């Protein structure tokens, strides 16, 4: 949760992440401010969980409350802040980040915010129906990483979960919590009008 001041002419872009199915990482949920000059600033980004086709339940499969993405094994993180997660297999399966697409990104790879937040889909991954809007990666021999502020790493082994995506909150007094297990959700509440 975040509380922010918005000005006239500013636009909010809201993208609701899709829950991953089977080996796919879930997409992140994004609330982004667009200024009148066309530049963007993240307000809140909730990372998506990594894929867990085997329902193993490793702790790194959960989204991160900080800005880092999780790796695909214990103690590993993606410290490329704002970037996409690393792939664990030949078919790209890391989750997308807010700022940048995966290295040498192709049209069917998961995409960053400015490129539309598509999930990984057929051609890079096994099944179109498994792609997760919000930058989720899809596994083939492994599990996909979650999308988020920083993407989670994909795994190279179906017995290892994909890493959850990182999160962001512009409000230093804002709150973050884990425990949402469905498609993403966003609630916006108007608090007060200020006149200058």
Measure the CA–CA gap between 94 and 35, rounded to whole angstroms: 30
Report how far apart, in Å, the C-alpha atoms of 65 and of each of 11, 44, 93, 177 are.
Answer: 26, 11, 21, 7
Widest distance between CA atoms in the chain: 58
The residue that leads in pLDDT, 180 or 40, is 40
9-66, pLDDT tens digit by residue?
Answer: 889 999 999 998 888 899 999 999 999 888 999 999 999 999 998 888 899 999 999 9
- Read out DSSP for 21-41? -TTPPPPPEEEEEE-TTS-EE
pTM of the predicted model, to two decimals? Answer: 0.90
Phi, psi at 143, each rounded to 5°: -115, 145
pLDDT band at residue 130 using 50, 70 and 90 as cut-offs: low
**In this prediction, what percent of the chain has a pLDDT beyond 70?**
94
């Amino acid at each position: 949760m975040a509380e922010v001041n918005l000005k006239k002419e500013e636009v909010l872009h809201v993208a609701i992440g899709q829950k991953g199915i089977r080996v796919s990482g879930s997409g992140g949920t994004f609330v982004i401010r667009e200024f009148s000059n066309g530049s963007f600033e993240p307000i809140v980004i909730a990372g998506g969980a990594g894929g867990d086709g085997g329902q193993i339940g490793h702790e790194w499969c959960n989204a991160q409350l900080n800005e880092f993405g999780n790796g695909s094994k214990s103690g590993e993180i993606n410290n490329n802040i704002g970037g996409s997660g690393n792939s664990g297999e030949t078919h790209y399966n890391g989750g997308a980040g807010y700022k940048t697409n995966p290295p040498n990104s192709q049209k069917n790879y998961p995409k960053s915010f400015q490129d539309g937040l598509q999930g990984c889909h057929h051609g890079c991954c096994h099944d179109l129906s498994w792609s997760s809007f919000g930058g989720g990666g899809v596994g083939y021999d492994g599990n996909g990483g979650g999308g988020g502020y920083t993407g989670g790493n994909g795994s190279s082994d179906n017995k290892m979960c994909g890493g959850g995506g990182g999160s962001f909150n512009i409000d230093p007094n804002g709150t973050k919590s884990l425990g949402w297990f469905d498609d993403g959700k966003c609630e916006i509440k108007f608090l007060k009008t200020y006149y200058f």
